Amino acid sequence: RHTRSWCDWSSDVCSSDLITPRTGAGYSNNLISGSTTFGNSANILYLTPFIPLNTLTITAASIQVTTAGAATNMKILVYSDSNGLPTTKLLESSLLDISTTGFKTYTATFTFTAGTTYWIGTIASGANGVITSTTQTLQIGVATNSNTTYNGFSIGGINLASIPSTLSLTSGNLASLSSQPRVTFVSA
């Protein structure tokens, strides 16, 4: 099934191209397919919004390591949304060893509900290693004193061994990230 609610015919961009997810297909938390790289920083939780158009049940989540990070681990996280802010942890991966390149996958079943905002996060134990990212993602706010847009959160001082179950953030924690870690989900 494929429907369109509005379209900008000059660019052929539509507000909701509804295509039923295919079993085993990969879906990303980022809006474009182009990629760049994201250098890790120790103990910083990066979160970007993800709003699926269709309900999507996944069987795995992964990151792609492009430069190995000696003695470095990462985790993938999913948080719920409350008034545009990430709040409650819904999913936390096991430790993903990024000391070699390639896809690092966490196997788990999770369902994203259509039209619901989720916050997809990554965190690394060290500053070693590089993963695939993108330079564009959903913009979530505009600063009142400028035209700066915000597209996520960068929260320092988070211990990989004890990631908070609940975040207490304000709009002051918003960040304009130059790139965002890409997480790929495999549909059930």
Q: Which residues pair with 106 in a beta bridge?
A: 61
pLDDT band at 22 (very low <50, low <70, confident <90, very high): low
Distance, C-alpha 57 to centroid of its chain:
16
18 compared with 50, residue with greater pLDDT: 50
Question: What's the pLDDT tens digit per position in 34-44?
Answer: 455 666 788 88
- Give exposure, 53-82, as e/b (b: 16+ Cβ within 10 Å): ebebebebbbbbbbeebeebbbbbbbbbbe
- pTM (global) more than 0.85: no
Residue 172 has pLDDT above 90, yes or no: no
CA–CA gap between residue 171 and residue 30 (Å, rounded): 21
Residue 152 has pLDDT above 70, yes or no: yes
Residues 6+ apart with CB under 8 A from 121: 45, 46, 47, 48, 76, 77, 78, 79, 86
DSSP-derived secondary structure for 29-43: SSS-S--EEEE--BT
Task: Count the alpha carbons within 13 Å of 101 in the hemisphere toward its beta carbon.
Answer: 5
pLDDT band at 20 (very low <50, low <70, confident <90, very high): low
pLDDT score recorded for residue 72: 92
